[in-house]
């Protein structure tokens, strides 16, 4: 068997959203949050008010998420929620429910095809994760447990645990420190050029851009060391001669 390019590395450090978890961030004007709200125990807000609160919360989060000044000063969903003028009169129990509604819509699902790939990668490499999430890690780790992959990762760095978001190099360095690895031993795999590739390169890692069905890279985008179209390509793509 020909040498694979991933065999140049000891560690595969992965992004999550649109890398192996899909259907995340189910927000928008056409989304009805009522069923989720009911499942979370909500019964106070009408549909229109519920949507207005979630939409305002998302808008507030996105404002800071897009602002480089907040890359290492990013708040929690609960903090952003409690700053909303329309939420200030709501009881704390209701705010907790709204936070759960938001988290349930932020988290996605992991297809079994990608579970198989992760298990196979784990046979030959140390796996780690660095992921931007806004909500509590529990919403995502529940899906990890459900599909049986939580124990595959030697280290998991959730941005919401650190008050930072990629491309902050802090998150990548946290993973390196936990793994006790040099950056040249690590390949970072992610789908977002400006957050994944920039951040990993700043920490000294080699990078693989997972393009999915995205547009080609623009001249303003960082150049990854490798480009793949699907996570499964890591298992077969040969090293350059």
For residue range 62-98, what is the model confidence (pLDDT) as tens digits? 999 999 999 999 999 999 999 999 998 999 999 999 9
Q: Which of 87, 106, 125 is the last residue in one of the domains? A: 106
Query: Is residue 54 situated within a structural domain?
Result: yes
226 and 186 in one domain?
A: yes
Give the range of the structural domain holding residue 123, as residue numbers without chain letter.
5-23+109-235
Same domain? 10 vs 125: yes
Higher confidence at residue 1 or residue 169? 169
3-state secondary structure 130-154: EECCCCCCHHHHHHHHHHCCHHHEE
State whether 117 and 96 are in the same domain: no
Burial per residue of 93-126, b for 16 or more beta-carbon CB atoms within 10 angstroms, e otherwise: ebbbbbbbbbbbbbbbebeeebbebbeebbeebb
Residues 60 and 13 reside in one and the same domain = no
Residue that finishes a domain, picked among 78, 106, 134: 106
Distance between start and end Cα atoms, the chain: 14
Q: What value does the mean pLDDT take over residues 108-118?
A: 98
Tell me whether residue 74 is in a domain. yes
- pLDDT, residue 240, reads 67
Tell me how many domains the chain contains: 2
DSSP letter (8 states) at residue 46 = -
- 86, 113: one domain: no
pTM summary value? 0.94
Same domain, 42 and 137: no
- What is the C-alpha separation between 105 and 98, in angstroms, rounded? 11
Q: Are both 85 and 114 inside the same structural domain?
A: no
Query: Stretch 154-163: mean pLDDT, rounded?
Result: 97
Residue 241 confidence (pLDDT) above 60: no
Size of the chain in residues: 241
Q: Identify whether 131 is part of a domain.
A: yes
> In CATH, what number is assigned to the domain containing residue 203?
3.40.50.1000
pLDDT at 213 over 90: no
> In terms of domains, do 97 and 121 share one?
no
Q: Span 12-27, mean pLDDT?
A: 97
Phi and psi, residue 66, nearest 5°: -90, -5
211 with 115, same domain?
yes
CA distance 83 to 70: 16
Mark which of 106, 135, 169 sits at the end of a domain: 106
Residue 134 has pLDDT above 70, yes or no: yes
Tell whether 192 is covered by a domain: yes
Same domain, 19 and 118: yes
Span 101-109, average pLDDT:
98
């Amino acid at each position: 068997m020909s040498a694979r390019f991933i065999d140049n590395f000891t560690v595969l450090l992965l992004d999550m959203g649109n890398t192996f978890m899909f259907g995340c961030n189910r927000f928008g004007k056409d989304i009805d949050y009522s069923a989720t709200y009911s499942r979370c125990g909500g019964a106070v807000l009408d549909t229109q008010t519920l949507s207005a609160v979630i939409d305002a919360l998302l808008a507030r989060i996105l404002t800071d998420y897009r602002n480089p000044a907040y890359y290492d000063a990013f708040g929690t969903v609960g903090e952003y929620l409690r700053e909303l003028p329309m939420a200030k009169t709501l009881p704390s129990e209701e705010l907790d429910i709204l936070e759960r509604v938001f988290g349930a819509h932020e988290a996605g699902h992991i297809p079994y095809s990608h579970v198989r790939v992760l298990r196979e990668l784990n046979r030959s490499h140390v796996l780690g994760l660095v992921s931007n999430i806004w909500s509590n890690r529990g919403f995502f780790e529940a899906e990890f447990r459900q599909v049986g992959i939580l124990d595959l990762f030697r280290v998991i760095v959730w941005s919401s645990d650190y008050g930072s978001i990629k491309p902050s190099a802090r998150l990548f360095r946290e993973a390196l420190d936990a793994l006790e690895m040099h950056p040249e031993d690590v390949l970072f795999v992610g789908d977002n050029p400006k957050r994944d590739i920039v951040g990993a390169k700043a920490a000294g890692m080699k990078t693989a851009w997972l393009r999915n069905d995205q547009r080609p890279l623009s001249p303003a985008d960082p150049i990854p060391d490798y480009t793949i179209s699907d996570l499964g390509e890591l298992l077969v793509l040969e090293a350059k001669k």
